[in-house]
Amino acid sequence: MLRVDVTKQLGDFSIDVAFASEGRVTGLFGASGAGKTSLVSMIAGLLAPDRGVISVDGEMLDDTAQRLHVAAHRRRIGYVFQDARLFPHLDVRRNLDYGRRMNRLTRDAALETRLNEMLHIGHLGDRRPGQLSGGERQRVALGRALLAQPRLLLLDEPLGSLDDERKAEILPYLIRLRDESGVPMVYVSHDADELRQLASHVVMLKRGRVAAFGGVDILPA
């Protein structure tokens, strides 16, 4: 369960958002500039709220009243960015292994095999990020985030930089991850169709405020 109740001033723009979601995939829906990315950055711990609380499964990650702000690297919250952000100096294998090494986790061969198969990335190991297509890059980024064994996965417009054909190629992978990985997700998108296929709950954001919260039926047609 993800609970968010935060305010944050960013220049002229302010965020004042509260919601709690049990859903397996919580969709954050809104036009660009609605504050979606700032909100997920706060959940990830990359940005500190001015006031409020963020908790995952009952564990407080931010609580300004208690002056608590757990650093991003201690949150175990995975983050898949729109632009993949693979490390250019590491090959695919080392990119995938990065989170495991940083968290000092023992190698989980079963998880690796399952993800390689689910995301179809096993054959890319020796390649450099620069030698991957946009879709491959995004699949590797998904694998990298999941191999760090997060308790929550944030996906910030993971299909945003792909053309329609590539989107159609990645979407089935995301649906499989949702159904088989067992990791709850927050999925950010401005595309109602995408969220209809993936989300169980939807938080609709408008200019930094929650405009609606509910099932996928609240999404515009």
Partner 1 sequence: MFDISPTEWTAVLLSLRVAVVATLVATPIGIAVAWILARSRFWGKPFVDALIYLPLVLPPVVTGYLLLLTFGKRGLVGAWLYDHLGIVFAFRWTGAALACGVMSFPLLVRPIRLSIEAIDRRLEQAASTLGASPWKVFVTVTLPLALPGILAGMVLGFAKAIGEFGATITFVSNIPGETQTISSAIYSLISTPDGDAAALRLMIVSIVIAMAALVASEVFARRATRRLHGN
Interface region with partner 1, contact rule CB under 8 A, candidates 4-12, 55-63, 143-151, 209-217: 143-151
Closest CA to 99 of 80, 113, 83: 80
**Using CA atoms, how far apart are residues 214 and 125, in angstroms rounded to an integer?**
41
Report the residue number, 113 or 131, with the smaller CB distance to partner 1: 131
Residue 182 in the binding site for partner 1 (CB under 8 A): no
Contact call for residues 137 and 95 (beta carbons, < 8 A): no
| Cross-strand bridge partners of residue 10 | 13
Question: Contacting partner 1 (CB under 8 A), which of 35, 99, 184, 208?
Answer: 99
Site string for partner 1, 25-54 (x = CB under 8 A): -------------------xxx--------
Residue 81 in the binding site for partner 1 (CB under 8 A): yes
C-alpha dist (Å) from residue 161 to 21, 29, 131, 198, 205: 27, 17, 17, 18, 21
Closest CA to 32 of 187, 157, 141: 157
Cβ 18 to partner 1, closest distance in Å? Answer: 23
Cβ 41 to partner 1, closest distance in Å? Answer: 8
Residue 130 in the binding site for partner 1 (CB under 8 A): yes
**Using CA atoms, how far apart are residues 70 and 190, in angstroms rounded to an integer?**
29
3-state secondary structure of 102: helix
Contact positions vs partner 1 (CB under 8 A): 44-46, 71-79, 81, 83, 85-89, 98-99, 102-103, 128-131, 144-145, 148
